[in-house]
Structure 1
Amino acid sequence: MLEKNQLTQLVTLKFILMKVKYISKISKVQELTNKEVELYEPVTKKFMFRTNSYYNDLIDWSDPNDPIRRLIIPQTEELLNWGQLDASEEASYQPIPGIEHKYSSTVLLLCNDVCAAYCRFCFRKRLFQDDNDEVVKDVSSGIAYIKEHPEVNNVLLTGGDPLVMSTARIEKIIKQLCEIEHVKNIRIGTKLPAFNPHRILDDPSLGEMIKTYSKVKQIYGMVHFDHPTELTDLTVSSLKFLQAAGATVVNQTPIIAGVNDSPEVMNELFNKLSFIGIITYYVFACRPTEGNKTYAVPVEQAYEIFNEAKNNGSGLAKTARFILSHKIGKIEVLGLTEKLILFKCHNLANNGQNGKIMAFKRNPKAYWFDDYENFEVVI
């Protein structure tokens, strides 16, 4: 029997889902021509497709190169033979299903395998395939694992998007984490403010839950905005909602070809986020995940875009680091000289190497750290 507050939350969530129509078949996207549907259907059979009416309304359908369209509508180039499904070998860091423990102090709790919509460049698209078992809905084993590892001081709820779940289910997980003494920070990885801010704004119980548990542990909203168009008035209100409830909100984004691969667009994104008190945390190189060739930008070109975007902003818009989330850990790009690219071991699985500086001969064709392995220079 559901408790009264749980039933209220489920009814609220049902109302939200009715308000925003979800679309899981490319043929149901009314703005596409029959020819476009015919082109894109083979892509959706290989990689999951989902969008919704709110996000589709952000698209200028008269522009075939619209960046929001590119974020969510399939490209036939996704079928090119390039990359690996698990480009950073995340599965190798899973001691048990539902847990990723790559960095000593941080655990990822893979608690949901659904997103409000699916980014075409997703680096975890493998999780949405039928034969994947990395995500679990019963997190009890994961909670037990975290309890047994006192070195873990922060936990990231991810997957999938945790905020797609009912608030009752999210609260059950956060309550258990708050009862673990050595867990100090709880992070919620989400793109819901961009994909469907109604989910947040129309559910006061979500704010109440965050307000309650942010008094016990520090709650972070790890949001994902790729383009300034996503920062609508409704979205900004949803971010203010999370902040008012007590969450610290930070943004992460990859550099995506045809979306934000210009200094002007990235600078506008950095500035707009800073104006509403959102910290720009990481900017990632697009991982060489299967299907992602059309979205990837070479490392050195991406760094130049990132660096110019930061240089034209205020100090508050210059907080991001440019990162390659590699199988060995997070590698930061520090800068370029005429002949060299400089990397820093920002946060490695083997943290004994953290802080190490590496210099490589420049390779303008490199899309990933592995493309430099034969170019290292001793300095």
Structure 2
Amino acid sequence: MMKGTYITDIKEIPYFQSMPESEQKILLNVTDRFPFRASKHYLSLIDWNNPKDPVKRIIFPDPRELDASGSPDPSLEKNYTVQHGLQHKYPQTALLLLSDVCGGICRFCFRKRLFMDSKRQTVRDYMPALGYVRDHPEVTDVLLTGGDPLILSTSRLKEVIGKIMEIDHIGVIRIGTKMLVYNPFRITGDPELISLIKEVSAEGKKIYIMAHINHPNEISSESVKAIRMLQQAGVAVVNQTPIIEGVNNDQTTMADLFRKLSFMGISPYYVFQCRPTIGNYIYSVPVEQSFHIFQNAFKKCSGLAKRARFIMSHSTGKIEVVGVTERNIFMRYHQAAHPDDYDKFLVSRSNPQAHWLDDYEPFYLETAGTVKEWFFEQEQVYSRTAAQ
């Protein structure tokens, strides 16, 4: 019953049917703007009697989504689109948007413009995109994303991956997916997919699954089975998650997630600050609060469970938050769209209300002398303010 079965009309959900008509009407207004989609498997993980169930929070619409501001493209992906469906922001990695469909739609999705009424941004004819990759030897890995590439048929994936395999300078093929928890039957019920992965691994290329697991409750026994099958076929599975209000915005939950992933041989890879996408503000936690959650979770974990970095995927690059004090926040470029930015260290006065880099006034410091001079100036400002 659950295998491959998706619900796109919220009216089919018994919980929705039990709601007062006035609340139903509001939620239908939400899904008219920000579509709903979920697998029956994923819905079965929800405790509908718990108003704060984290899995429900991930997938079920919230009326406040309509009240929030934001950008359809907060990281300005359009600026790095070099071919239809292909982004090239960082020299080594190219992103190929293969699908505009997922196994479910996270309410806080940063690329929800793909699911709304907009021009198609994914690619059907991928050959021009791969021609670009072939002509750029600095690209060493291709990230298949969307949407979710595993929503596509295995025959389609085999076709695309086969062409990528022919490009000598590509050593890694990444697949960004939440299907491990949204619909693990996609993996466990498809021997052809496992065979494809084994074939790629045998030929000297490496497939990485970039999993999207936000909370330990998402990991069902079927998910564990799917993960093991992928790993045994030669896949390296890593995980990335944003910090989401009402889902994982506490140190205990985050530590439990890190530990559970490490027990399954999955490396925590990135922990993201929720992007300021349209409708996402209610899911966002202030940057400095997110960092403290992240750091305190690390205190509860072994070294293998704390390999993630806390990142903002800004339009200029991946900004890593490396420290927060009472007065300052410290950041650096983990990845940079412009090569010169790798040498820049960002320091700003603390702003507990900031939800994104643009809410700060960063200073770009490139030498120890500049850092010393800036801190001297800030100390004078702080002393004058305290005296008033």
| Same fold? TM cut 0.5 | yes
2:40 matched to 1:53? yes
Aligned twin of 1:43: 30
Aligned to 2:226, what secondary structure does the other structure show? helix
Instruction: Kindly provide the CA deviation profile for residues 326-369 of structure 1, in whole angstroms up to 9, marking residues without a partner as x.
Output: 00010000011121110011100012221532211000000000
In 1, Cα distance between equivalents of 2:58 and 2:124: 27
- CA drift at 1:141: 1.2
Tell me, which stretches of 5 or more residues in structure 1 are unaligned? 1-16
355 and 293 in structure 1: CA distance in 2 versus 1, 3 angstrom threshold: same
Aligned twin of 2:294: 306
- CA drift at 1:19: 2.7
Aligned to 2:82, what secondary structure does the other structure show? coil
Mean Cα displacement is larger for which, 76-85 or 238-247? Answer: 76-85
In 1, Cα distance between equivalents of 2:181 and 2:3: 16
Aligned twin of 2:197: 210
2:114 matched to 1:127? yes
2:44 matched to 1:25? no
Any residues of structure 2 matched to 1:150-299 within 5 Å, and which?
Answer: 150-216=137-203, 217-299=205-287
Tell me if structure 1 keeps the 8 A contact 2:2–2:41: no
In 2, Cα distance between equivalents of 1:37 and 1:200: 34
Mean Cα displacement is larger for which, 250-259 or 87-96? Answer: 87-96
Amino acid in structure 1 at the alignment position of 2:60: I
- CA drift at 1:95: 1.4
Tell me if structure 2 keeps the 8 A contact 1:78–1:292: yes
Aligned to 1:214, what secondary structure does the other structure show? helix
In 1, Cα distance between equivalents of 2:361 and 2:48: 42
Tell me if structure 1 keeps the 8 A contact 2:346–2:362: no
Q: TM-score, normalised by structure 2?
A: 0.91
Amino acid in structure 2 at the alignment position of 1:279: S
Aligned to 1:64, what secondary structure does the other structure show? coil
In 2, Cα distance between equivalents of 1:167 and 1:263: 38
Q: What is the number of equivalent residue pairs in this alignment?
A: 363
Aligned twin of 1:83: 70
Aligned twin of 1:6: none
* Greater C-alpha radius of gyration: 2
Aligned to 1:155, what secondary structure does the other structure show? strand
Instruction: Kindly provide the CA deviation profile for residues 109-157 of structure 1, in whole angstroms up to 9, marking residues without a partner as x.
Output: 0111100000000000001123223211221111111111111111000
Aligned twin of 2:329: 341
Tell me if structure 1 keeps the 8 A contact 2:73–2:111: yes
Instruction: Kindly provide the CA deviation profile for residues 155-208 of structure 1, in whole angstroms up to 9, marking residues without a partner as x.
Output: 000000000100110111111001001111100000000101111001011100
In 1, Cα distance between equivalents of 2:322 and 2:283: 23
Q: TM-score, normalised by structure 1?
A: 0.93
Aligned twin of 2:377: none
Q: Percent identity?
A: 48
Aligned twin of 2:317: 329
2:304 matched to 1:316? yes
148 and 264 in structure 1: CA distance in 2 versus 1, 3 angstrom threshold: same
- CA drift at 1:317: 0.4
RMSD: 1.4
Moved over 4 A (4+): 374-378
Amino acid in structure 2 at the alignment position of 1:66: D
Tell me if structure 2 keeps the 8 A contact 1:361–1:375: no
Which of residues 347, 357, 364 in structure 2 aligns to 1:369? Answer: 357
